[in-house]
Structure 1
Amino acid sequence: MTYFTGAVAAVPTANKTKYADHISAAWPLFRSYGALRMVENWGVDVPKGKVTDFYGAVDARENETVVFSWIEWPDKGTADAAWEKMQNDPAMKDLPEMPFDGSRMIFGGFAPVYEAGTRNGAGYYQGFLLAVPEKNKEPYAEMADEGWKLFEKGGAIGMVEGWGEDVPHGKATDFYRATKAEDGEVPVFSWVAWPDRATCDAAAKAMEAEMGDMDMSQMPFDGMRMMWAGFEPLFDSTTAA
């Protein structure tokens, strides 16, 4: 079953090129460990939230940009074996120095609870982080299916909802603190793929009007703690030279 390592980081805006170079150098190693794809997205429309937001998730500074990324694996076993191998692989030491503060990066392992459309050809992504009561996994998947119908109608080309399966607690930041997860809740890492930002923005306006009278209290999670933002692909291993 497909499995994702999802991550969010804060990168000094001035280091955008250095970050892209670092990722390009790292991809061949991840591929050798069995990874199927790696996608790195640069924040271009990251709003401030009242309760949670991507800035707070990684304690981003004024001169930093939020990055939303994932590595796709054929299954959890392959991912687990890869991370174990990385710990002792001398090749890791040959990679360029990380051009950001890795101690504030949040990451975890996620299995799709819902997928639709395609993962290829996106020129823009909406990324989402939230916390869902574990008992509401099935209702959440059902809600995602209804949501996909609206996104697809607006021009979206794909959607993935990743359910947290191996999400560690961190010293400085983590997905639990980012989403203010409560006892019994599971972090969810998800995205909607769009052909471009203009299509996404137009769809958002249309959906806002259509959903204006929706009873949000019926959602199977606390929507006030969900965060979202817009990202442009910085690196995609399927299109990299």
Structure 2
Amino acid sequence: MDTNNYIDGFVFPIEKKHLEAYKQAAEKIAEIWKEYGALAYFEYIEDDLTLEGVKSFSATLEVKEYETVIFGWVVFPSKEVRNHANKMVPLDTRIAQLVTPLTNPNKLIFDASRMVYGGFKAFISKD
């Protein structure tokens, strides 16, 4: 991997019953991010969040028993490309069409206030 790459990472809980609706939207959202310069887009669902002696994502996010955790990251060729994408993607009308049903207060599927997010530059890279 190119050590000049820049990565946006995110973790959030989602109700298990909404996984399919979220996945359908997220797959389209991932393609839009790539149109704006992302090299790759990944989302993974929790499988094993326990390790003795450390705080888990579940504990940090106060995940309920009916929720699961999504962990994802978007790879960009540079921080500059990432910054440009972060300005442009929210303005894309397709994003609003995909996100509005997920954030409807009457049937909240995705709660951004519970998402943990950050941008990261390379520190150690071993292939």
Which TM-score band (shorter chain)?
Answer: 0.7 to 0.9
Q: Percent identity?
A: 26
**Structure whose residues are more often helix by fraction:** 2
Equivalent residue, structure 2, for 1:61: 64
Matching residue's letter, 2:98: L
Distance 2:49 2:84 in 1: 34
| Residue 17 of structure 2 corresponds to residue 14 of structure 1 | yes
Kept after mapping to 2: 8 A contact 1:42/1:65: yes
Aligned counterparts of 2:52 and 2:9: Cα–Cα separation in 1: 21
- AA aligned to 2:19 is K
Task: Give the Å deviation of 1:5.
Answer: 0.4
Deviation at 1:50, TM superposition (A): 5.3
CA contact (8 A) 2:90 2:96 kept: no
Is the CA contact (8 Å cut-off) linking 1:59 and 1:104 kept in structure 2?
no
Flag the 1:10–1:90 CA change in 2: closer, same or farther, 3 A. same
- The structure richer in strand per residue is 1
Aligned to 1:77: 80
Verify the 8 A CA contact 1:43 1:68 in the aligned structure 2. yes
Structure possessing the higher relative contact order (Cα contacts under 8 Å, 6 or more residues apart): 2
Match of 2:121 among 111, 126, 149: 111
Structure 1-normalised TM-score? 0.45
Q: Which residue of structure 2 lines up, in the alignment, with residue 91 of structure 1? A: 94
CA contact (8 A) 1:10 1:67 kept: yes
TM-score (norm 2): 0.82
Partner SS, residue 110 of structure 2:
coil
List gaps (5 residues or longer) in structure 1: 118-241
Counterpart position of 2:112: 102
Where does structure 2 lack aligned partners over 5 or more consecutive residues? 103-108
Amino acid at match of 2:56: D
CA distance in 1, matches of 2:52, 2:117: 21
Where do residues 33-182 of structure 1 align in structure 2 (5 Å cutoff)? 33-47=36-50, 52-96=55-99, 97-98=101-102, 99-117=109-127
1:35 is displaced (CA, Å) by 0.5
CA shift at 1:28, angstroms?
Answer: 1.8
For 2:65 and 2:52, the matched residues in 1 are separated by: 16
Q: How many residues align?
A: 117
